[in-house]
């Protein structure tokens, strides 16, 4: 997280929690209807998509490749690197997180009929998602396991406010 960022909190996610939360999302999607395939939004949606594809027994997996977050600057322009054919009808669209909704709006324009599901949703992007598991505050930086490594952390009480 950048020192001068808009984020006041950090919510670290372990691999185990990400797996549990991905399965919880699959559980919510299980009875909706049959999906002919799954579209993962890269890169964040790749790991959850793999878990969800397994749980829902989906073998047809596609990707939409968008670069919108630079690890140093979250405000970069979204760049479509790879799209998909069609309007998304019958497809399940998976991402790890909907934050401001900028990427979600772009993707929903590409595949407006896809069912859009994320594990985590922030208030600004939540209206764009059809299904999600956990809502977190807009000022929280979700630290995914692929962006972190295990180190000692000082107890909260000793960090001063």
Supply the DSSP string of 86-152, one letter for each residue: S--TTEEEEEEEESSSHHHHHHHHHSTTSEEEEEEE-TTTGGG-SEEEEE--TTEEEE-GGG-----
CA–CA dist 37, 58 (Å, integer): 6
Within a domain: residue 78?
Answer: yes
pLDDT in tens, 49-85: 999 999 999 999 999 998 875 555 555 677 888 989 9
| Number of residues written out for the chain | 161
Domain that holds residue 124: 9-145
Count of other CB atoms within 10 angstroms of residue 99: 25
Question: Tens-of-pLDDT digits for all 161 residues of the chain?
Answer: 444 467 899 999 999 999 999 999 999 999 887 899 999 999 999 999 999 999 999 999 999 998 875 555 555 677 888 989 999 999 999 999 999 999 999 999 999 999 999 999 999 999 999 999 999 999 999 999 999 887 787 888 877 65
What was the pLDDT predicted at 3? 45
Within a domain: residue 57?
Answer: yes
Per the structure, the count of domains in the chain is 1
What was the pLDDT predicted at 152? 82
- The enclosing domain of 97 has a CATH number of 3.40.50.2020
Assigned token pair, 114: 């896809």
pLDDT in tens, 81-94: 898 999 999 999 99
Within a domain: residue 150?
Answer: no
The residue behind tokens 């600057």 is: 73
Phi, then psi, of 89 in degrees rounded to 5: -60, 125
List, by residue number, the catalytic residues: 95-96, 99
How many Å is the maximal CA-CA distance in the chain?
54
């Amino acid at each position: 997280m950048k020192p001068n960022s808009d984020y006041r909190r950090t919510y670290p996610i372990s691999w185990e929690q990400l797996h549990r939360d991905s399965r919880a999302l699959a559980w919510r999607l299980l009875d909706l209807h049959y999906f002919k395939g799954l579209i993962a939004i890269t890169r964040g949606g790749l790991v959850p998509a793999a878990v969800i594809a397994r749980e829902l027994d989906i073998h047809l997996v596609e990707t939409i490749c968008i670069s919108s977050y630079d690890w140093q600057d979250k405000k970069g322009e979204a760049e479509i690197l790879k799209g998909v054919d069609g309007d998304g009808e019958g497809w399940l669209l998976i991402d790890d997180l909907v934050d401001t909704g900028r990427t979600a709006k772009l993707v929903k324009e590409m595949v407006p009929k896809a069912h859009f599901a994320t594990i985590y949703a922030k208030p600004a992007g939540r209206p764009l998602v059809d299904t999600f598991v956990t809502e977190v505050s807009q000022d929280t930086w979700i630290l995914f396991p692929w962006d972190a490594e295990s180190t000692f952390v000082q107890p909260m009480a000793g960090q001063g406010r």
